[in-house]
Amino acid sequence: MPLHRLLSLLCPGLRIPRLSVLCAQPRPRAMATSSSSCKLPLVAVCQVTSTPDKQQNFKTCAELVREAARLGACLAFLPEAFDFIARDPAETLRLSEPLGGKLLEEYTQLARECGLWLSLGGFHERGQDWEQTQKIYNCHVLLNSKGAVVATYRKTHLCDVEIPGQGPMCESNSTIPGPSLESPVSTPAGKIGLAVCYDMRFPELSLALAQAGAEILTYPSAFGSVTGPAHWEVLLRARAIETQCYVVAAAQCGRHHEKRASYGHSMVVDPWGTVVARCSEGPGLCLARIDLNYLRQLRQHLPVFQHRRPDLYGNLGHPLS
């Protein structure tokens, strides 16, 4: 019987975040590193089931972030819509806040309290143009361990799709696409390139981030129940292999309300394309160590970026200025 289940039966009043065991990391023998694994930076990937209840969502996320800090993580990743998942566009707009609002202040205090960086994967942001547009941005916010906002990326590819069996999604009903990419940001785990969910379907974005120096790509997400089993892991592993980056994907899971459910399966993929950590079912977290020496060795042994032929097919994913 799994330890989590056994403890739940023995102590029914005890709330225990679900924690996935760190997966082994198979590597080509020639690229094994001598680094002591305990010295490598540890990251935590949080999986939650957001609802329209913002305070309950914060309570759940804060519990996972505190657990990540207790386990020694230097950076915790939260999924897209960590703040809330509304029932309709009108509720989405009503619940949204500016970056200087109450909710983000709570997260800045949490980052300071725990002393770790936070990737807030998709904040429903009322931007400076809110009064004119009455629409929001899907904003990926990166906080440092002092609670300061060090980067913001506004999702550039909006999910306007109709998938049979999954229901229509029209993100542009309430959301404006972001105008630009964000240059990779140096963190205690490595240089992080910011993206959000549907962005993973556009390899040009990941290639641009990699050429700009990214070592970790992050795709906080809320994948559906049809596209999830078919595309989720395949796309994440493809982005890792083609860019030779770590890929970190924190995901929404389970039923948010009567109108929507998400696939889950949060994971970390290494630059070889191996899934090195994965969340189990339900809210919880998984942990992975980021080995940048391994990444550099892989890029040296398999120098694909040196072999690109923009003279034949153009520069797919122009380097960021």
Residues involved in catalysis: 80, 155, 197
List of E strands, 60-204: 75-80, 117-125, 137-143, 149-154, 160-163, 167-170, 185-187, 190-194
Helix (H, G, I), strand (E, B) or coil at 48: strand
Q: How far is CA 46 from the centre of its chain?
A: 9
Q: How far is CA 253 from the centre of its chain?
A: 13
What is the DSSP pairing of strand 18-20 with strand 275-278?
A: unpaired
Between CA 273 and CA 74 the distance in angstroms is 23
Instruction: Give the containing element (helix H, strand E) for 159.
Output: none
Between CA 36 and CA 21 the distance in angstroms is 18
Instruction: Enter the DSSP assignment of 245.
Output: -
Nearest to 231, CA basis, from 214, 219, 243: 219
The residues facing 42 across adjacent strands are: 289
